[in-house]
Chains A and B, each alone.
Chain A
Amino acid sequence: MFKKILIANRGEIACRVIKTARKMGIKTVAVYSEADARALHASLADEAICIGPPPARESYLVIDNIIKACKESGAEAVHPGYGFLSENAGFAERLDADGIVFIGPPAKAIESMGDKVTAKRLAIDAGVNTIPGPTDVIHTAEQVTETAAAIGYPVMLKAAAGGGGKGMRIANNDEECRSGFDRAASEAQSAFGDGRVFIEKFFAKARHIEIQVLADRHGNVVHLGERECSLQRRHQKIIEESPSPFIDERTREEMGEQAGALARAVNYESAGTVEFIVDAGGDFYFLEMNTRLQVEHPVTEFVTGLDLVELMIRIAAGEPLPMAQGDIVFQGAAIEARVYAEDPARNFLPSVGRLIRYLPPEESPHVRVDAGVYEGDEISIHYDPMIAKVITHAKTRDEAISQMLGALDNFYIQGVSHNISFLAALVQHDQFEQGAFDTNLVAELYSNGFDPRNSQQNNPALLVTVAASIHCYRTMRLVGDWVVVIDDQQHPVRVRHYEDQQSHEVQIGDSRFEVVSDWYPGQPLFKGTINGEGVCVQVEQRETKYILSHRGSRSEAVVLTHRAAELLSRIPAKEPTSTYTHLLSPMPGLLSQLLVDDGDRVKAGQDLAIVEAMKMENVLRAERDCTVAKQLANVGDTLAVDQPILEFE
Chain B
Amino acid sequence: MQEILRRLQEKRDAAKRGGGQKRIDSQHAKGKLTARERVELLLDADSFDEWDMFVEHRCTDFDMDQQSIPGDGVVTGYGTINGRGVFVFSQDFTVFGGSLSEAHAEKICKIMEHAMRVGAPVIGINDSGGARIQEGVASLGGYADVFQRNVLASGVIPQISMVMGPCAGGAVYSPAITDFIFMVKDSSYMYVTGPDVVKTVTHEDVTHEELGGAITHSTKSGVADRAFEDDVDALAMVRKLVDYLPANNRQSPPSRQTADPVDRIEPSLDTLVPDNPSKSYDIKELILKTVDELEFFEIQPEHAKNVVVGFARMDGHPVGIVANQPLVLAGCLDINSSIKAARFVRFCDAFNFPILTLIDVPGFLPGMAQEYGGIIKHGAKLLYAYAEATVPKITLITRKAYGGAYDVMASKHLRGDINLAWPSAEIAVMGSKGAVEIIFRQDRDNEGRIEQLTEEYRAKFANPFIAAQRGYIDDVILPRDTRKRICRYLAMLRNKKLENPWRKHGNIPL
Q: Determine if A322 is an interface residue (Cβ-Cβ < 8 Å).
A: no
- Shortest B33–chain A CB gap in Å is 6
Q: Determine if B233 is an interface residue (Cβ-Cβ < 8 Å).
A: yes
- Measured between beta carbons, the chain A residues less than 8 angstroms from B31 are 571-572, 574
Q: Determine if B439 is an interface residue (Cβ-Cβ < 8 Å).
A: no
Q: Determine if A154 is an interface residue (Cβ-Cβ < 8 Å).
A: no
Contact of B275 among A37, A521, A567 (CB under 8 A): A37
Contact of B295 among A37, A378, A521, A572 (CB under 8 A): A521
Q: Please count how many residues in chain B sit with their CB below 8 Å of the partner chain's CB atoms.
A: 36
Contact of B293 among A37, A522, A543, A567 (CB under 8 A): A522
Instruction: Encode B1-40 as 1/0 by CB contact (under 8 A) with A.
Output: 0000000000000000000000000001101110001001
- Measured between beta carbons, the chain B residues less than 8 angstroms from A616 are none
Contact of B294 among A541, A572, A574 (CB under 8 A): A541
- A354-B281, A568-B230 in contact; A561/B45 too (CB < 8 A)? yes
Q: Determine if B232 is an interface residue (Cβ-Cβ < 8 Å).
A: yes
Instruction: Encode A346-378 as 1/0 by CB contact (under 8 A) with B.
Output: 000000001111100000000000000011111
Whether B37 contacts A38 by the Cβ 8 Å rule is: no
Whether B45 contacts A563 by the Cβ 8 Å rule is: yes
Whether B41 contacts A563 by the Cβ 8 Å rule is: yes
- Smallest Cβ-Cβ distance to B272: which chain A residue: A376
Q: Determine if A17 is an interface residue (Cβ-Cβ < 8 Å).
A: no
A residues engaging B (CB < 8 A)?
37-38, 354-358, 374-378, 474, 476, 520-522, 541, 543-544, 560-561, 563-564, 567-568, 570-572, 574
A476, A522, A568: most-surrounded residue (chain B CB, <10 A): A522
Q: Determine if B493 is an interface residue (Cβ-Cβ < 8 Å).
A: no
- Shortest A492–chain B CB gap in Å is 15
Bound complex: CA of A521 vs CA of B312, how far in Å? 13
- Measured between beta carbons, the chain A residues less than 8 angstroms from B186 are 574
Whether B230 contacts A375 by the Cβ 8 Å rule is: no
- Measured between beta carbons, the chain B residues less than 8 angstroms from A378 are 271
- Measured between beta carbons, the chain A residues less than 8 angstroms from B40 are 563, 567
Whether B259 contacts A520 by the Cβ 8 Å rule is: yes
Contact of A38 among B33, B267, B275, B294 (CB under 8 A): B275
- A520-B260, A543-B237, A571-B231 in contact; A376/B294 too (CB < 8 A)? no
Contact of B257 among A354, A476, A568 (CB under 8 A): A476
- Smallest Cβ-Cβ distance to A524: which chain B residue: B294
Whether B271 contacts A522 by the Cβ 8 Å rule is: no
Whether A375 contacts B268 by the Cβ 8 Å rule is: yes
Whether A375 contacts B293 by the Cβ 8 Å rule is: no
Whether A476 contacts B233 by the Cβ 8 Å rule is: no
Bound complex: CA of A311 vs CA of B256, how far in Å? 58
Bound complex: CA of A1 vs CA of B477, how far in Å? 45
B residues engaging A (CB < 8 A)?
28-29, 31-33, 37, 40-41, 45, 186, 229-233, 236-237, 240, 256-260, 267-272, 275, 281, 285, 292-295
Tell me the dominant secondary structure on chain A's binding face: loop
- Measured between beta carbons, the chain B residues less than 8 angstroms from A476 are 256-257
- Smallest Cβ-Cβ distance to A560: which chain B residue: B232
- Smallest Cβ-Cβ distance to B233: which chain A residue: A544
Whether B37 contacts A567 by the Cβ 8 Å rule is: yes
Whether B256 contacts A543 by the Cβ 8 Å rule is: no
Whether A376 contacts B269 by the Cβ 8 Å rule is: yes
- A570-B28, A571-B31, A572-B29 in contact; A377/B271 too (CB < 8 A)? yes
- Shortest A560–chain B CB gap in Å is 7
- Measured between beta carbons, the chain B residues less than 8 angstroms from A568 are 230, 232
- Smallest Cβ-Cβ distance to B298: which chain A residue: A543
Bound complex: CA of A572 vs CA of B285, how far in Å? 36
- Shortest A416–chain B CB gap in Å is 13
- Smallest Cβ-Cβ distance to A35: which chain B residue: B275
Bound complex: CA of A560 vs CA of B267, how far in Å? 36
Bound complex: CA of A37 vs CA of B276, how far in Å? 12
Whether B236 contacts A521 by the Cβ 8 Å rule is: no
- Measured between beta carbons, the chain A residues less than 8 angstroms from B257 are 476
Instruction: State the 7 A-B residue pairs at the shortest beta-carbon distance, nearest first.
Output: A376-B268, A520-B259, A522-B293, A521-B293, A376-B271, A522-B294, A375-B268
- Measured between beta carbons, the chain B residues less than 8 angstroms from A561 are 41, 45
Bound complex: CA of A476 vs CA of B295, how far in Å? 14
Bound complex: CA of A375 vs CA of B269, how far in Å? 9
Whether A521 contacts B294 by the Cβ 8 Å rule is: yes
Whether B267 contacts A376 by the Cβ 8 Å rule is: yes
- Measured between beta carbons, the chain B residues less than 8 angstroms from A376 are 267-272
Q: A520-B258, A567-B37 are in contact. List 12 more A-B contacts (CB 8 A).
A: A38-B275, A354-B271, A354-B281, A358-B268, A521-B260, A522-B294, A541-B295, A544-B233, A560-B236, A564-B232, A574-B186, A574-B229
- Smallest Cβ-Cβ distance to B27: which chain A residue: A571
- Smallest Cβ-Cβ distance to A518: which chain B residue: B259
Whether A522 contacts B295 by the Cβ 8 Å rule is: yes
- Measured between beta carbons, the chain A residues less than 8 angstroms from B32 are 571
- Smallest Cβ-Cβ distance to A377: which chain B residue: B271
- Shortest A281–chain B CB gap in Å is 52
| 10 A–B pairs (Cβ distance < 8 Å), ordered by A | A375-B268, A376-B267, A476-B256, A521-B295, A522-B292, A563-B45, A564-B41, A567-B33, A571-B33, A571-B230
- Measured between beta carbons, the chain B residues less than 8 angstroms from A354 are 271, 281, 285
- A543-B237, A567-B37 in contact; A375/B267 too (CB < 8 A)? yes
- Measured between beta carbons, the chain B residues less than 8 angstroms from A358 are 268
- Shortest A609–chain B CB gap in Å is 25
- Shortest B314–chain A CB gap in Å is 12
